[in-house]
Amino acid sequence: MSTPVLHLDDPVKRQKVLELVRGLDLTADTQKKIRDVFESEMELGLAKNPPVASSLQMENTFLPELCDGSEEGDYLSLDLGGTNFRVIWLRIKSGAVVSEAVQYYQVPEDVRLGPGVKLFDFLAECIHNFMDGRQLKGQNLPLGFTFSFPMTQQGLDVGILVSWTKSFNCSGVVGEDAVKMLNDAIHRRGDTDVDVIAVLNDTTGTLVQGAFVDRKCAIGLILGTGSNACYIERADRIEKWEGEHKDVKEVVIDVEWGAFGDNGVLDFIKTEYDKEVDRNSLLVGSFTFEKHFGGKYLGEIVRCVLVRLTKEGLLFQSNASEELLQHGAFTTRFVSLIEEDNVNGVDVNTTGALNELKLAFNKEDIEIVKYICWLVSDRAAILVSICTASLLERMDRPETTVAIDGSLFKHHPRLKSFMEKYIAAMAPANKFQLMLAEDGSGKGAGLIAAIASRLKKQQAH
């Protein structure tokens, strides 16, 4: 795939446009520097007493192995990450899901903002109703709990809430174990025979879901609204892990790379557009790495560039519509559609997007907009590929499947092919493949419950 060239009749105008977007074009030296910084931050994150704090949490998930094909039985998962949540039932036979059912629920606002005990009582009630409606009562069912909020794990079944995000702010939960609070609520009812035996985030769930399908899977990646990754690390490399891990050879580490560079170590790649996106975001100065390419931000980066070029008299005859000036108006969906035009050599989606934004445009404007969408998408792929290639080389397996979930990866027409090209160049000795693995936060939680049950049985013998 050849690199797009910006074709403009006026060489001076072309030079001005390229000058204003130069920072989005990552040179080979810059890419190497990003990788060096990422690897240094990983080591700091795994260290027991690092000289400086890392921007990468490198959280131990306490998950020492993945699916091995021996999984059997009925399992539940509770997937809580926003206003809407799900309860899922899986029946596994001979290492394959043979039946499943899902029910969606909504957390009312007074519950999201009230006492924590009330929230967990509500979740326990929904689990009870789900089981009641499916004649699952009377069975003792293990449950995997996807808790998509910042947490510190102290065991496979211990997740301490660090802070609420999104629309939740329940009192009495920060600093507490979410698993214990949910188990307590279930047992308080006295009519539901369920044990919460594992807690995870969607990234770990994606890895487990991927490994269930493909045993070579060793990296889980989220490329959606935001981004994160987890991978399999050797236990002897985790300095900060103290406790019962003498028999554990490896464990899944949750990198939490959405926050990579929050401590300033990546400031050298931040353009004026990245800084503007961060300033207008909900959590200023936090999760800054994912703001370079997450689905929530990709379109906004393009919008900031287009506004700047318009103000400089290089686009839309210097007339930015009210729509273009609106924060969030140029969506990541537009970027994907315009990238489709780049693939197909047409302008139909580009003109549609610009008409929707009520802009007056000519052929050169279309050319510039298509180029900017390519440039921002290309940088996104490079940034994700640098970190993924680094993980591949660190694990150094004969072949690795990378399980990826998220709307950006699923809908962007070129992200996968860009990543395949860059990762292959950055980790030439490591065979890999990228695989879409959907619903790690749901199905993955049930599969982790199955793994946790197997581990418990092994420990009992």
Residues comprising the chain, all counted: 461
CA distance 401 to 381: 17
> Is the confidence at residue 152, as pLDDT, over 80?
yes
CA-based angle 103:106:109, to the nearest 5?
Answer: 165
Helix axes 363-395, 415-426, angle to 10 degrees: 50
pLDDT at 243: 60
Dig out the tokens for 418 from the structure. 């860009």
> Is the confidence at residue 1, as pLDDT, over 60?
no
The average pLDDT across 54-72 equals 93
> Is the confidence at residue 231, as pLDDT, over 80?
yes
| Strand pairing report for 194-200 and 141-147 | parallel
Positive or negative torsion for Cα 43, 47, 53, 54: positive
pLDDT at 2: 56
The answer to whether the beta carbons of residues 145 and 61 sit under 8 Å apart is: no
CA distance 165 to 159: 15
Return the percentage of the chain with pLDDT > 90, whole number: 87
Dig out the tokens for 130 from the structure. 């789900």
CA distance 7 to 17: 11
pLDDT at 81: 86
pLDDT at 57: 93
Categorize the per-residue pLDDT at 373 as very low, low, confident or very high, splitting at 50, 70 and 90: very high
Categorize the per-residue pLDDT at 368 as very low, low, confident or very high, splitting at 50, 70 and 90: very high
Q: Bigger pLDDT: 387 or 68? A: 387
| Strand pairing report for 399-405 and 217-223 | parallel
> Is the confidence at residue 43, as pLDDT, over 80?
yes
Per residue in 70-83, pLDDT (tens digit) is: 889 999 999 998 88
Categorize the per-residue pLDDT at 304 as very low, low, confident or very high, splitting at 50, 70 and 90: very high
pLDDT at 431: 98
> Is the confidence at residue 369, as pLDDT, over 50?
yes
pLDDT at 223: 96
For residue 199, what are the contacts with CB-CB under 8 A and spacing of at least 6? 144, 145, 146, 147, 151, 153, 156, 157, 158, 159, 178, 179
CA distance 287 to 260: 7
- Longest Cα–Cα distance of the chain, Å, equals 77
The average pLDDT across 345-355 equals 98
Q: Which residues pair with 228 in a beta bridge?
A: 222
191 is annotated as an active-site residue: no
32, 93, 166, 358: the catalytic one is 166
Categorize the per-residue pLDDT at 244 as very low, low, confident or very high, splitting at 50, 70 and 90: low
Positive or negative torsion for Cα 452, 456, 459, 461: negative
DSSP 8-state secondary structure symbol assigned to residue 443: H
110 is annotated as an active-site residue: no
Domains and CATH numbers, the chain: 73-212+439-455 (3.30.420.40)
79, 195, 202, 365: the catalytic one is 202
- Which range is least confidently modeled, 89-103, 235-249, 252-266, 335-349? 235-249
pLDDT at 149: 87
Burial level of 345, CB count in 10 A (0-12/13-18/19+)?
exposed
Q: Which residues pair with 199 in a beta bridge?
A: 145
Query: Is the whole-model pTM more than 0.75?
Result: yes
DSSP 8-state secondary structure symbol assigned to residue 177: B
pLDDT at 167: 84
Dig out the tokens for 434 from the structure. 């990228």
What does pLDDT average to over the chain? 95
- Which range is least confidently modeled, 34-48, 142-156, 408-422? 142-156
- Which range is least confidently modeled, 62-76, 175-189, 352-366? 62-76
pLDDT at 245: 62
Q: Which residues pair with 230 in a beta bridge?
A: 220, 254
The answer to whether the beta carbons of residues 100 and 91 sit under 8 Å apart is: yes
- Which range is least confidently modeled, 235-249, 389-403, 430-444? 235-249
Categorize the per-residue pLDDT at 282 as very low, low, confident or very high, splitting at 50, 70 and 90: confident
Q: Bigger pLDDT: 165 or 255? A: 255
The CA-to-CA distance between both ends of the chain, in Å, stands at 56
Burial level of 342, CB count in 10 A (0-12/13-18/19+)?
buried
